[in-house]
Amino acid sequence: MMPLTEEKIAAYLERVPVCVRNESMAKRTSFRVGGLAKLHVTAPTSEALVAAISSALDLDIPFYVYGGGSNLLVSDDGYEGVMIQAANRGITVEENTVHAESGAITGMVARTSVDKGLTGFEWAVGVPGTIGGAVYGNAGCYGGEMKDAIETVEVYDYNLNIRKSFSNGECGFGYRESMFKHRPFLILSCVLRLAESADPAKGKERMDEIMRMRKEKQPLESSSAGCAFKNFEFDDESALDILKRSVEVPESMLKNKSISAGWLIDHAGMMGQSVGDAQVSTKHGNFFLNTGKATASEILALISRVKMKVRDEFGIELQEEVQYVGF
Ligand SMILES: Cc1cc2nc3c(=O)[nH]c(=O)nc-3n(C[C@H](O)[C@H](O)[C@H](O)COP(=O)(O)OP(=O)(O)OC[C@H]3O[C@@H](n4cnc5c(N)ncnc54)[C@H](O)[C@@H]3O)c2cc1C
């Protein structure tokens, strides 16, 4: 990337006075790695988010919008532009709909919905980060996915400089997929449609149970970005020919037409492998950990090594779930 000129930086700082220079992205991401963002804006309102983007566009400064930073791997060289963090955290509940601004913390949205006597979003209690990030990647776990709860998503189309609202069916949701990954949209807010709960105490119990299961199965004590890879989805079992020659594939995975990436990594013998301070968890094969002072390059090298091993052993090409920034 071309270095930002001092003139552009000064002009941006004048237009967006809350912007700071040289912000460590290691401090802002759950991986705890990454260099400096040349410019950084924390936007507490939707208007501030739009203004931060508009100014970047006017001045021809590259920008990247993020939320909790829990699904990002930022380059050791940082980001030569402005990183804009959505911190518009409003949550309002009306009857059985929840309106959440994009910077609302996903776990808070889940807890608020249960406190207000609603059910259907308990699964999200342990998903780190913001609801904007969750919509972007159609986050999911424990049988739930954003696409099951979303009624509408409001965006700012920064190419056309207009706000738009999309119904669930227009969002292009798939497994860890949405159209927001492919369009010039800033997610501003979303509306979730949930059901009234006959027994709100049950919702709280379910959330406690989910948090217990997460602690048991995931290495939450170390820094990570959650699952590094998507599970491998297939239409035709011929895609598993090489895999089936060496390993017995569980019936449940065949039935769901989805092979767990963590299971593949485990069977490829890669759990516990490391490059510097980057390590594949020994508890969950799809969690790549920063065990101390890992660099983004080390994590990237480990991701590539695991990807190659799984491809060479099983003929399966894993796709990253984690988003790369500044590479
Ligand atoms: C310990 C741990 C456990 C996890 N468990 C799960 C899990 O169970 N299920 C799951 O699906 N994920 C899981 N994740 C991954 C991650 O938490 C989710 O993907 C989460 O929804 C990302 O939200 P975020 O705000 O942190 O997004 P960020 O990491 O900040 O951003 C992710 C992507 O979303 C885009 N984005 C964010 N906000 C906006 C916005 N307002 N407008 C446009 N684009 C935006 C960014 O540009 C980026 O490409 C886990 C992560 C960790 C660290």
All residue ranges of the chain with pLDDT < 70 are none
How far away, in angstroms, is 84 Cα from ligand 1 center? 15
Does the CB atom of residue 66 touch ligand 1 within 6 A?
yes
How far away, in angstroms, is 182 Cα from ligand 1 center? 16
- pLDDT score of 240: 96
Does the CB atom of residue 225 touch ligand 1 within 6 A?
yes
How far away, in angstroms, is 275 Cα from ligand 1 center? 24
- pLDDT score of 171: 98
Architecture of domain 219-325: Alpha-Beta Complex (3.90)
Please tell me the pTM assigned to this model: 0.96
Does the CB atom of residue 133 touch ligand 1 within 6 A?
yes
How far away, in angstroms, is 210 Cα from ligand 1 center? 18
How far away, in angstroms, is 128 Cα from ligand 1 center? 7
Multiple choice CATH, 91-212, 3.30.70.1450, 3.10.105.10, 3.40.50.11750, 3.30.465.10: 3.30.465.10
How far away, in angstroms, is 49 Cα from ligand 1 center? 18
Domain boundaries, given as residue ranges, for the chain = 8-86, 91-212, 219-325
Query: Class of 8-86 per CATH?
Result: alpha beta
Q: Which residues contact 263 (CB under 8 A, 6 or more apart)?
A: 250, 253, 285
**Closest-lying ligand 1 atom to the alpha carbon of residue 70:** 26
**Closest-lying ligand 1 atom to the alpha carbon of residue 224:** 53
Does the CB atom of residue 224 touch ligand 1 within 6 A?
yes
Report the DSSP beta bridge partners of residue 189. 101, 154
Can you tell me the distance from the alpha carbon of 25 to that of 186, in angstroms, rounded to the nearest whole number? Answer: 20
* Closest residue by CA, ligand 1 atom 8: 141
**Closest-lying ligand 1 atom to the alpha carbon of residue 225:** 53
Q: Which of 72, 32, 123 is nearest to 228 (CA)?
A: 72
Can you tell me the distance from the alpha carbon of 33 to that of 223, in angstroms, rounded to the nearest whole number? Answer: 9
Q: Which residues contact 49 (CB under 8 A, 6 or more apart)?
A: 43, 65, 84, 86, 88, 102, 156, 186, 188
- pLDDT score of 2: 79
- pLDDT score of 78: 98
Other C-beta atoms lying within 10 Å of the C-beta of residue 208: 12
pLDDT digits (tens, 9 = 90+) for 230-267: 999 999 999 999 999 999 999 999 999 999 999 999 99
How far away, in angstroms, is 195 Cα from ligand 1 center? 25
Can you tell me the distance from the alpha carbon of 85 to that of 69, in angstroms, rounded to the nearest whole number? Answer: 9
Does the CB atom of residue 144 touch ligand 1 within 6 A?
no
